[in-house]
Amino acid sequence: MKEFFLIPLILLLGSCGASGDTSGVKVIVGAQLDPGHDRPHLDHSVVVIRDGRFESVGPQQSTPVPKGAQITSGMGKLITPIASTSVVASGEPANLVLRDAATNSAEKVMHDGEWLK
């Protein structure tokens, strides 16, 4: 009789964790951030990208990094918007350039949450 209730319970519990999937989440940690549109710069930032959009953007000490996310170190880097018309802010399309902070040279480009270079 116990097995009768146990199997449906296992199936139900197994399906509960699907919404918290972080396998496609990308996070840049520790970079300087120039969010664009005259918004204030941030020195030690966390930028969380999910489903092609910025999910959260904030200071490293108060912005959580989702468990299981793909992490890119931003140490010595500068994040800028990909174009002068875009902005790095929650809810916006994840289009950015990851630059060397000392030389300002582009190292990686992200478009709609995917690394191109």
Q: What is the 3-state secondary structure (H, E, C) of 46-61?
A: EEEEECCEEEEEEECC
Cβ–Cβ < 8 Å for 81, 35: yes
**Segment 13-65, tens digit of pLDDT:** 333 333 455 668 999 999 999 988 888 889 999 999 999 999 999 999 999 99
> What range defines the domain where residue 79 resides?
21-115
- The answer to the question of residue 105 being in a domain is yes
Does residue 78 register a pLDDT over 90?
Answer: yes
Cβ–Cβ < 8 Å for 59, 32: no
Which CATH number belongs to the domain containing residue 107 in this structure? 2.30.40.10
Which residues are CB-contacts of 41 (< 8 A; sequence separation ≥ 6)? 32, 33, 34, 35
- The answer to the question of residue 34 being in a domain is yes
Alpha carbons 24 and 37: distance in angstroms, whole number: 28
pTM, whole model, 2 decimals? Answer: 0.78
- The answer to the question of residue 90 being in a domain is yes
- The answer to the question of residue 16 being in a domain is no
Pairing of strands 26-33, 42-50: antiparallel
Question: Across residues 10-14, what is the average pLDDT?
Answer: 36
- The answer to the question of residue 5 being in a domain is no
How high is the pLDDT of residue 21? 58
User: What average pLDDT does the structure give for the chain?
Assistant: 84
- The answer to the question of residue 73 being in a domain is yes
Alpha carbons 102 and 106: distance in angstroms, whole number: 11
The number of distinct structural domains making up the chain is: 1
- The answer to the question of residue 94 being in a domain is yes
- The answer to the question of residue 102 being in a domain is yes
